[in-house]
Amino acid sequence: MQADFVIVGAGSAGSAMAARLSEDGKYSVIVIEHGGSDFGPFIQMPAALSYPMNMGLYDWGYTTEPEANLGNRRLAAPRGKVIGGSSSINGMVFVRGHAEDFNHWAEQGANGWSFADVLPYFKRMETSHQDGGIGGEDGWRGTDGPLHVQRGPAVNPLFSAFIEAGRQAGYGVTQDYNGSRQEGFGLMEQTIHKGQRWSAAQAYLKPALKRKNVSLVKGLARRVVIENHRATGVELDVRGSIQVVKARREVVIAASAFNSPKLLMLSGIGPGAHLGEHGIEVVADRPGVGANLQDHLEVYIQQECIQPITLYSKLNLFSKAVIGAQWLFLRQGLGTSNQFEAAAFIRSEAGVPYPDIQFHFLPGAIRYDGKAAAPMHGFQAHVGPMRSPSRGAVTLRSGEAKDAPVIRFNYMSHEEDWRDFRRAVRITREVFGQKAFDPFRGKEIQPGSHIQSDAEIDGFIREHAESAYHPCGTCRMGRADDPHAVVDPETRVIGVEGLRVADSSIFPRVTNGNLNGPSIMTGEKAADHILGRTPLAPSNLEPWMNPDWRETDRLKQA
């Protein structure tokens, strides 16, 4: 039970680090994971995505505290408790983030994490499948990485109608939002390969576990063992027995935006007064641990479809059985896609320099968790602002590792949140009202055409906004002399030797879009820092920025 490197968490970043730290055979790696196997159709079949995040077998089952600005609702806050972590229970949407997101990180003290610095890692980690070939836009995409990224078949005419409607509304079209230009409407990308979910476990961890120098240990991490301000191992609860996994070189925490700060606090690293309340001896008083919690919220704008071409016809038991059989025996059919095959990133108004609204488009009217479907043919857009100013916190419920942390996002706590969300709802209606949707559009299902005023839209948001499941920021990366930073730009925990954190918790600010891609990139880049390697050479590619962003939220007409 000892290795050179001990990684807590077999998720997106942890799997990537396990593979990279062990690939030259010099060092041994132990990965600690509380969850079990990812085997089985609920995880591996892309169309079954609503199941694993609602199964206690695969999900930690966390919920937020009552959110004061959302009618005191408790929102679901799923995180993967399984090999592959949240990459095994997520929606399989692949987004890198906008170049300016990472430039902002660097400006906030994460030196070496600008877009020029991270693009080479995004390229190293992926094999991009586009238009029947590999690589896509020249120079921007990876061609031989372990993470396979594809586009769905997009055969349903509603996908092309959505993209064309965005063009008609003046927002423009992007050929590849993960290439030089994020802004616009286009095809969505998926971490799916040969008809099955391509999680970080499939891409990184399972190949790494075939090496003699990598092993997986199942157990609940109770705390990091720290001696003389140096991390020397991890204390585990293995089926009621307390054991210690020793690290000869370093301990790396990659346990999620909820569990990484929780484990630091249980280990004596965090806000001193809060640790004292739970009888925990303070090793390093870091007020930033657990703070800076961020997420993306979204609402579903649903429209009736007057042609019987949507997923509604596939929700009966017989159709589900056929889809399941096609997937199981042939890896073909609707089961091979997450059904999110068109997307958009747009700017909410003139003066916003880069996109701040994201759309996921779905040819069906159904909740992400699968719990409620409109009783008719329909289509929907998940829409929400990207850069909310609201910040929350993760704190300890007790000094016991088995107790869930207290998760409080403080969603919608700024007037700017409400203004941006109202705009997102109205833009979605405008897009759905374009000529491209004329052959398909029936009545508005949700919110309903009677919801029009600011107050009515606010009421709809308060009642119906859901998390997009993109929590981050709770162990913020920054300068070593920043009292609110938790890790430095090499992912080292400030104030403790031999300990790092590398996952979405270190993001200074949430990136545009879904976080699985940036989380894996974080693991890739952190591995080079841990090994003391010179980082990959920065890219000199220039991302596209709308030249008219000061004057308009659209493209200037020719």
Residue found by looking up tokens 């010099």 in the block: 26
Q: Is-contact 139 506, C-beta < 8 A?
A: no
| Main-chain phi, psi angles of 375, to 5 degrees | -80, 50
Report d(CA 135, CA 129) in Å as an integer: 6
Across-strand partners of 493? Answer: 487
Give, in order, the Cα–Cα distances in Å from 543 to each of 25, 182, 202.
Answer: 37, 9, 30
Q: Which helix (H) or strand (E) holds 189?
A: strand 189-190
Give the CA dihedral 227, 228, 231, 236, nearest 10 degrees: 20
- Report the binding-site residues for FAD: 4-33
Catalytic entry in 274, 450, 470, 529: 470
Find all residues with CB under 8 Å of 40, minimum gap 6, and list them.
none
Query: Phi and psi for 287 in degrees, rounded to 5?
Result: -65, -20
| Inter-helix orientation angle 115-125/99-107, to 10° | 130
Contact 287, 356 (CB under 8 A): no
Q: Report the distance separating Cα 359 and Cα 34, nearest Å.
A: 33
The sign of the dihedral angle between the CA atoms of 358, 362, 364, 369 is negative
Sign of CA dihedral 453, 442, 344, 364: positive
44, 41, 38: which is closest to 57 by C-alpha? 38
Amino acid, res. 477: M
| Contacts within 8 Å (CB) and 24+ apart, 366-371 | 366/311, 366/315, 367/50, 367/300, 367/466, 368/50, 368/91, 368/300, 368/466, 369/50, 369/53, 369/54, 369/76, 370/50, 370/51, 370/54, 371/50, 371/54
Cα–Cα distances in angstroms (integers) from residue 256 to residues 155, 294, 474, in the given order: 35, 13, 9
Please say if 470 is a catalytic residue. yes
Q: Shortest CA distance to 79 belongs to which of 472, 362, 388, 358?
A: 472
Binding-site residues sit at 4-33
Closest-CA residue to 236 (of 266, 213, 207): 266
Helices (H), 210-338: 256-266, 272-277, 317-330
Query: Active-site residues: which are they?
Result: 470
